[in-house]
Amino acid sequence: MTQKASLGKVLVTGGAGFIGSALSQLIADRSEGWVVMDSLHPQVHPGGKRPADLHEKAELIVGDVVNPEDWDRVLEHGPFDLVVHLAAETGTAQSLAEASRHSRVNVVGTTEMLDAFTRAGQIPARIVLAGSRAVYGEGRWNRESDGTDFYPGMRTHAQLAASQWDFPGAAPVAARADLNIPTPTSIYGATKLAQENLLTAWAGSHDTTVNILRLQNVYGPGQSLINSYTGIVSLFSQWSEIGKQIPVYEDGVITRDFVYIDDVATAFEAVIDSDPAVTNGQVYDVGNGVGTTIFQIAEIIAEYHGAPAPTVNGAFRDGDVRHAWADISRTTEVLGWEPAWDVRRGVAALQEWIAGQDERVV
């Protein structure tokens, strides 16, 4: 096997989290130094402890991306060749009620990072951003009458209250970064799109390579079991584990693309190892490439535990999109990456991991 090149010195913001810890286990050994900046937020890290899954080589610096002083402390450990920007508030529903918090961390936190690089005179060779499928909003739909694509925009509260789940006479289209116009329908999605624009603008003026991975719904061992905003797979798993019937919103046909954590980590490795001349400034979709309804994922989890079958309750969340899954063909073609885990296998692995954990949100 050909030995992969050294990554140089690496900085990972939010690097003590779910994705950061998994990535550290995969490639930290290839770095000349793996520095993690993380606030150890209690919503994710109870007790402010260093996560056991974080690679032993990682130097953890507790700091908040919105504080210039914390950035100055972190950059004393630089300069950095590679920056992986994971730090973000991630709750789609939570962002509607805590818009300022999401904007401070996701938008101002990113600008504080860029300002800190400027103050320190440190220009990283490459920045990789963990983007989000939330930037697509409802995305593209196709008219059944004439086959043309259009962007229907946000489903209003009135539509949802009237149980008008879909857009009549139209079918959803899988998201693809080079074909879709981003139209976020949540505060969270809007802040993630702002991150993309800020990094691209700054990097273009500093000859820094920037890559963006728009992640679909990431799940798997290592995700927070106490943060109800980090994904329904974890929440559904904990409900089924205790024999509770899973309630499914709308009519059960909300669609998501569930991508296993190991596949996300290998996607980051693939873009980090990619040729800057080919991938600079590019955005890639990272998902399983398959749409799974919320009812289907609930069924798989309930079956694993022998729990009651899920029930559709007709409830809804404002700002939620109806269908979201990715066309990953371009990512596979350019980066040579493809997911290895299907949903049923990944769900089983997650249940096995959860069984050995003490903390729960339910």
The pLDDT of residue 89 is: 85
Catalytic member of 136, 151, 188, 219: 188
**Three-state DSSP class for residue 21:** helix
In a domain, 2, yes or no: no
CATH number of the domain residue 231 falls in? 3.40.50.720
C-beta of residue 124 within 8 angstroms of C-beta of residue 80: yes
The pLDDT of residue 339 is: 98
| Residue whose C-alpha is closest to residue 32's, from 16, 2, 15, 11 | 11
Q: Does 19 score more than 80 pLDDT?
A: yes
Per the structure, the count of domains in the chain is 1
Q: 172 pLDDT band (50/70/90 cuts)?
A: very high
Catalytic annotation present for 188: yes
The pLDDT of residue 97 is: 62
Q: What are the backbone angles phi and psi of residue 73, rounded to the nearest 5°?
A: -65, -45
Note down the domain range covering 215: 8-355
In a domain, 360, yes or no: no
Q: What percent of the chain has pLDDT over 70?
A: 96
The pLDDT of residue 361 is: 72
Q: 95 pLDDT band (50/70/90 cuts)?
A: low
In a domain, 1, yes or no: no
In a domain, 321, yes or no: yes
Q: Name the average pLDDT for the chain.
A: 94
Cβ atoms within 10 Å, residue 100: 10
Q: 76 pLDDT band (50/70/90 cuts)?
A: very high
Q: What percent of the chain has pLDDT over 90?
A: 86
Q: What is the 3-state secondary structure (H, E, C) of 241-307?
A: HCCCCCEECCCCCCEECEEEHHHHHHHHHHHHCCCHHHHCCCEEEECCCCCEEHHHHHHHHHHHHCC
| pLDDT one-digit tens code per residue, 294-317 | 999 999 999 999 999 999 999 998
In a domain, 50, yes or no: yes
The DSSP string of 150-179 is: E---PPPHHHHHTT--S-TTEEE--B-TTT
Average pLDDT, stretch 333-360? 94
Q: Which residues contact 211 (CB under 8 A, 6 or more apart)?
A: 126, 127, 128, 129, 271, 272, 274, 279, 280, 281, 282, 283, 284
pTM, rounded to two decimals: 0.95
Average pLDDT, stretch 95-102? 76
In a domain, 209, yes or no: yes
The pLDDT of residue 169 is: 96
